[in-house]
Structure 1
Amino acid sequence: MTIPKFLIGDHSEHGDAIFVIHTEFPRFIIDLTKDEIEWFEEFDSQDQAELASETENAIKEATAFYDAEIAKYEQE
């Protein structure tokens, strides 16, 4: 099975939260309504510098993915 890089998640107990799941390293879930990230990876001190730049890029990519998906639904 091929898993997409990003998935959209929803949960009825989390109200208006918009979750995007990043399935590749570094794996995480972001709540786009709060810009909160939950990491599935453990990072050591050597990873911190790379993580900072990767986090910024990951948030941009997750937001762009979500916007593109919503635009597809609005066109239908």
Structure 2
Amino acid sequence: MQLPRFLMGDHSDHPDDIFVIHTEYPRFIINLIDDELEFIDDIQKADKEDLEAETKNLIEEASRFYDEQMEFYENE
């Protein structure tokens, strides 16, 4: 199965939260309400520095993905 790079998620126990899941390495879930980030993959120390800049870009991409999805649903 080919997964999209980003997925949106919600949960009835957290109705006000907005979750975006990044499905490629480094896989993570971000709550766009407070920018809390939870990595799914174990991040190796050697990768940590390289991933810091990439993660910032991925968070921005996750926010854009969410905005685009909301615009799509509003226009339907």
More divergent stretch after superposition (36-45 vs 57-66): 36-45
Q: Determine what percentage of the aligned residue pairs are the same residue.
A: 53
Say whether 1:23 aligns with 2:14: no
**1:11-50 counterparts in 2 under 5 A?**
11-50=11-50
Q: Which whole-Å deviations, capped at 9, do the CAs of 1:3-53 have from their partners, x for residues lacking one?
A: 100000000101210000000010000000010110011122221211210
AA matched with 1:14: H
- Alignment TM-score, normalising by the size of structure 1: 0.94
Q: Distance in 2 between matches of 1:48 and 1:58?
A: 14
Structure 1 spans left out of the alignment, 5+ residues: none
How much does 1:55 deviate?
1.3
Question: Alignment partner of 1:43: what SS?
Answer: coil
Q: Distance in 2 between matches of 1:72 and 1:18?
A: 16
Poorly superposed stretches of 4+, deviation over 4 Å = none
RMSD over aligned Cα, in angstroms?
0.9
Q: Distance in 2 between matches of 1:2 and 1:42?
A: 22
In structure 1, the residue matched to 2:53 is 53
- Alignment TM-score, normalising by the size of structure 2: 0.94
Question: Alignment partner of 2:13: what SS?
Answer: helix
